[in-house]
Copies of this chain bind each other. A is one copy, B any other.
Amino acid sequence: MLTLGAIREAHARIRDKIVRTPVLTSETLDAESRASLFFKCESFQKIGAFKARGATNAVFQLSEEEAKRGVATHSSGNHAAAVARAAKLRGIPAYVVMPHNAPKAKIESVQRLGAKVEFCEPTIAAREAAAVRIIAETGAQLVHPFNDYRVMAGQGTATLELLDERPDLDLILCPIGGGGLISGTAVAAKGLKPGIRVVGVEPAGADDAFRSFHSGTIAPMVNPQTIADGLRGSLGDKTFAVIRESVDDVVTVSEAGIVRAMRGIWESLKIVVEPSAAVAYAAVVEGRVEVAGQRVGLIVTGGNLDLDSLPWISEVL
């Protein structure tokens, strides 16, 4: 079960191992949106993404006996780096399965953190099969990127900090990939402030959570097409259950909207964020959520990307 109590325990467990990230604002972006926007910038988090929170919570929750055989995971990047770093902090082995087409910067950062990387085909099935094999060989504990209550609780700690700093928020916008972040976000937010709204945002080209939420049945993503590489995964059973229970709505945004939002954040907030991290703000840019006159928290999920190919310069789209 995912509870506010578990998220608070996670925060106590990890707070000295992560960054309390800043909440940034911009008069320009507020004027454009006619709202008050508060960007919780997990791009400044350890390993450059919120994933450090959930992975650190999971790794430090293991018993000594479990921990010594190490941890394993499969991830398109940021979660992999997060598990590698947490394992290094605890002094235990980390085994990471990554798709061979993962961004170069993300692969290198995992290797620098001392994890053993095994490459696989870029499908969920191939990743999971490789992880199962490694776990059988090593006895390592799986730290799933999202469908794991320890990970979901860790991700919720960003919202504890956001609402501690800005208790007057009316609405929180949060990207959805596998649903770990929004699960923690929604449970933390509703636990602290029952009247707050929590809306998930997905790329239209990877809209499984949108379809699942509105149909009431998990509808996995086949062949996702989006620049937001962190959001290509599909919901798990645990994250879907929490999302149905605690999230108010799920909306989608276009690829052009994601790029426009990303560029707007770079220009006005002066920070480097990856495409996935701009998806919540894209919902504001494209008018997919009513925000006028409201105080809106936005989770900016990470800042890891290959600076050689920016979507408004090279031919990514």
Contact = CB atoms under 8 A, between A and B. Distances in A.
Interface of A: 22, 43-44, 48, 105, 263, 266-267, 270-273, 303, 307-310, 312-314
Nearest to A43: B270
A22 B41 CA distance: 14
Nearest to A109: B28
A104 B271 CA distance: 20
A22, A43, A272, A307, most chain B CB atoms within 10 A: A272
A212 to B, nearest CB: 32
A48 B307 contact: no
A266 B303 CA distance: 10
A307 B310 contact: yes
16 contacts: A43-B270, A44-B270, A48-B270, A266-B272, A267-B307, A270-B273, A270-B303, A271-B271, A307-B313, A308-B312, A308-B313, A309-B313, A310-B310, A310-B313, A313-B313, A313-B314
A288 B271 CA distance: 28
A267, A273, A309, most chain B CB atoms within 10 A: A267
Contact of A272 (B22, B271, B314): B271
A266 B313 contact: no
A308 B312 CA distance: 7
A156 to B, nearest CB: 22
A26 to B, nearest CB: 10
A105 B268 CA distance: 11
A286 to B, nearest CB: 20
Contacts of A105: 267
A309 to B, nearest CB: 8
Nearest to A270: B303
Contacts of A263: 307
